[in-house]
Structure 1
Amino acid sequence: MDDIREVSALLEEGDPSAAVMAMGRRRLHELIRQEPAGALRAVPSAVPGGRTRRGRRRLRWALPGLGLVAAGTAAAIALTSTSAPPDRSRPRPTQTSQRLSGREVLLAAASSAETEPATTGRYWHVRSVRMIFAGGPPVGNVIEIWAAKDGWWYEGDATLEGRGLGLMKHKNKDGRSFELIDHTLSFDELQRLPADPRRLTAWALSYAHKINPHWRKKDMEDSATSTLSALLYAVPVSPKVRAAAFRALARRPDVTSEGPVKDARGRIGQGVTIGGAFHLIIDPKTAFVLQETAGTVKGPKRASTLYYEVGWTNAAPHVPGPA
């Protein structure tokens, strides 16, 4: 249970908002549920991972303060994606030393996202490596999610060394198989999202109210930022809506640039911090989110998720392989 104690210490640091505290408690409970099955594994040297879920463990890593991002490696799957660069097998971010402002990074990514062709497939697929740094060796897992338009949802887990931990499946009778923060949406609902940044922000704020109508204003704003960020990778929205999400994030308060940075696997992108709590590494030329980090980016205690595959695929769900 050392991993759990480390995560608990991570969540207890600082003076977070109610939204962050609520998400942190859920996160810790999820880790505790999965820990007996050996799903959280220590990571040798600097190799990443880390994640689990209550009951049906759906993709839920963009909540305020601890919004972990998703990732994955392409292997032999032919993947058509609304968010991956032309080489679907592995995102290759632009090697650049140019420093852009945070808003410039997001607006450049918006322009790239808008030009991506609309694609489709049998499953919306996200392959991720999720990791927790809590002072000792990082711990984590490889996670893959497949969500179908008819309500079927699958999640595969594996250790970073490639030992499969299983494949879960679930059928939502109402067809809502796409999880965005704390709720599930249908494909049709996602296609009706507004492609205007201001209207999309207003929708994200109303969505935050749906998650918890008793949150104070700061919690609502944090949750809206988290929801807008999750639209970049978690669910199948149109290219125009993804572009609107980037532009809406560029309008959020306190957007700063971290300059060209490497993610935990050595891929280079542009770092952006939004509201002091959301840290993204983005390749603006492909609009691909490489990594999201919660907590202090350079501190000893933080949680990150790396994205490797995000998009539609016709390949069948399966137990994941190594990262």
Structure 2
Amino acid sequence: MEELRAARPDHLAADGPVDPRTRHAELAHAFAQPRQAPRRSRKPLVWSVGLAAAAAAVTAVAVVGVPETVQQRPPAAATTAAATELSARDILLVAATNAEREPADSGEFWYVSNKWRTLFKTNEGFVISLGGESETWVGAKEQHFTMRDLGPTPATDADRALWEQAGSPREVSFSGQKRITMREGASKPHTGKSNDKEIFWLGRNVTMADLQALPSDPEALKADLLRFYTGQATESNAPSTEDGWLFQVAEGLITTMPVSPEVRAGAFRMLAGLPSVTSLGQVTDAAGRTGTAIAIEGESQSTPGDAKKGVVQIQLIIDEKSGRALGRQSVVVVAGGAQRGLAPGTVWNAMTILESGWTDERPS
């Protein structure tokens, strides 16, 4: 915000209206100013979340607005800052402008490394964390993945104390699900290979070629995506609003999929036109990185043994200076269904993008 104030031209101090195109161009210029460069990884940092991670999240739960992944009642590292002067539209348009400046890289594989976690209140009275990490290499003809299970374990020290008071049960259950086994430490890596072509999800199964054929104009992109909107969530038969459905699908284009910089910018601009999307200001993701969160509320499904549905706020964390996504998380608004027993404000699930981009390096 200090950068924006310093960059504000004199004419913006007046009370009269400013042409929106002038406003957004100046915001984009301010956000594009140089800052300390992050440490570069062995592969170029661009986007995405692993397919294995997405599959794990879908298996665990389904959310009408947008499904996601983790952490307990957010410490300072997971809470939102005070509302900023910028609207969600401003932030998304700035991100779109900067996304278009990204080079159109290429390679044999689309590489992604990420981590995710989800919280559940057990029937035994404490909260557990289910998590994992994955690496995926998606090529035109073959896909490879490596993933590790990081749970289930007590979510916090307080939950560990409650678990120990309960006799440190080896098996626990939650929300009518089957019993699961507690475990300390990560599992051994599991590797696999697939030759499927329809490996991305846009409310339907699509191929890499389908992604590359998407239009970049925001209205054309919206119309193309809505061809498959039926009033239901992308991962379940639960009802979904049009805004919520588009948010969920566009989130994939922004965070998880190998689309061109122009299409990614179009997805940002499409989201900027959705009236239900709001700005939450600055947040810190699970990896300690600072970004700006935009959000939409969605209703989660009920679960066996609990007919009450929950309400979650789905947050997409972006670095608008680079036009890149850092991750996503769902915060409990009203506990119910899969969020049963969690306090409002709890980061129920979160996914963090660690590294991604095109590479010619094959998995070892």
Answer whether TM exceeds 0.5 for this pair. Answer: yes
In structure 1, distance between residues paired with 2:111 and 2:347: 29
Partner of 1:65: 65
Residue 108 of structure 2 is aligned with which of 122, 125, 132?
122
For 1:60 and 1:235, how far apart are their aligned partners in 2? 21
Q: Which amino acid aligns with 1:202?
A: A
- Match of 1:139? 130
Q: Is contact 2:232–2:239 with CA below 8 Å preserved after alignment?
A: no
The residue aligned with 1:195 is 216
Q: 1:166 to 1:125 in 2, by over 3 A?
A: same
Aligned residue in 2 for 1:40 = none
Contact 2:64/2:240 (8 A) holds in 1: no
Q: Distance in 2 between matches of 1:260 and 1:301?
A: 15
**Which amino acid is 1:154 matched to?**
H
Q: Who is 1:308 aligned against?
A: 354
How has the CA–CA distance of structure 1 residues 99 and 266 changed in structure 2, closer, same or farther, with 3 Å as cutoff? farther
Consecutive unaligned residues in structure 1, runs of 5 or more: 1-49, 70-96, 319-323
Query: Which position in structure 1 is the counterpart of 2:326?
Result: 290
Matches of 2:238 and 2:315, distance apart in 1: 23
- The number of residues matched between the two structures is 237
**Alignment correspondent of 1:224:** 246
TM-aligned CA distance change 1:52 to 1:284, over 3 Å: closer
Q: Which moved more, 1:220-229 or 1:283-292?
A: 220-229
1-structure distance, mates of 2:258, 2:105: 10
Instruction: Say if 1:52 and 1:206 are closer, same or farther in 2 by CA, change over 3 A.
Output: closer
How far is the alpha carbon of 1:208 from its aligned partner?
2.9
Q: CA deviation at 1:286?
A: 1.0
The DSSP-based 3-state class of the residue aligned with 1:193 is coil
Instruction: Indicate conservation of the 8 Å contact 2:64/2:233, yes or no.
Output: no
Is the aligned partner of 1:156 residue 2:111? Answer: no
Give the CA deviation at 1:115.
0.8
C-alpha displacement at 1:122, in angstroms? 0.9
Q: CA deviation at 1:139?
A: 2.6
Worse overlay, 267-276 or 197-206: 267-276
- 1:102 corresponds in structure 2 to 88
Distance change (3 Å), C-alpha of 1:171 and 1:137: same
Is the 1:142–1:158 Cα contact (8 Å) retained in structure 2?
A: yes
- 1:236 equivalent in alignment to 2:237: no
**What amino acid is the match of 2:135?**
E
Aligned equivalents of 2:346 and 2:354: distance in 1?
24
CA, structure 1 residues 154+64, in 2 after alignment: closer, same or farther (shift >3 Å)?
A: farther
TM norm structure 2? 0.57
Is residue 282–residue 291 contact of structure 2 (8 Å, CA) maintained in 1? yes
1:275 CA displacement = 4.7
Q: Deviations over 1:259-314 (max 9, x none)?
A: 11111221101111135643111110111211211242763361110111222112
The aligned counterpart of 1:53 is 55
**Cα RMSD over matched residues?**
3.5
Question: Could you tell me the percent identity over the aligned residues?
Answer: 30
The residue that corresponds to 2:166 in the other structure is none
Q: Is contact 1:180-1:234 (8 Å) kept? A: no
Aligned with 2:100: secondary structure?
A: helix
From 295, 307, 317, the counterpart of 2:363 = 317
User: Deviation of residue 121 (structure 1)?
Assistant: 0.6
Q: Distance in 2 between matches of 1:59 and 1:115?
A: 36
Q: How big is the shift at 1:201?
A: 1.0
Equivalence for 1:252: 274
Select which of 315, 322, 335 maps to 1:279: 315
Distance in 2 (alpha carbons) for counterparts of 1:253 and 1:234: 24
Q: Distance in 1 between matches of 2:208 and 2:267?
A: 17
